[in-house]
Amino acid sequence: MENLKEVSLKIYETLFSMDESVKIDGEEHFVDTTRTGLRCVRTAGYLFIEQNPEKDSQWARKVQEGHQIMWVMKGRRYVARVMDGIYLSLKKGKPL
C-alpha cells in the first residue's frame, strides 16, 4: 500500500466529497456504508471511517459543530485521525 498518510488523505477527500470510489495503488475501492449509515472504505487490513455524529463523545460534538473527522483503524485499534484535512498519527513512537 502507498504511504498511509497519503492514502488516508485521499480516502478522506473521497468520503467527504461524496465520491463513490477511490483509486489506491491502481486499484479501485468503493465507498461502503455501515449499518449505522457511516461512510467507510476498507483496504489492506485498514478501515477508514467517518466519525459518528450520534455518539456521546468530544469527536461527535466536533462533527456536530461542522468539523469533518475520519478515523483510520487496523483491527480494533485507532492508528490515525484526519480532522479537517489534517492527518495525525495516533501510534506512539512510530510515524505512519
Q: pLDDT below 70 — which residues of the chain? A: 1-2, 93-96
Q: What's this model's pTM, rounded to 2 decimal places? A: 0.91
Supply the pLDDT for residue 93. Answer: 61
DSSP the chain: ---HHHHHHHHHHHHHHT-SEEEETTEEEE-EE-TTS-EEEEETTEEEEE--TTSSSHHHHHHHTT--EEEEEETTEEEEEEETTEEEE-STTS--
pLDDT at 71: 98
Question: What pLDDT sits at residue 91?
Answer: 82
Are the CB atoms for 78 and 89 separated by under 8 Å?
no
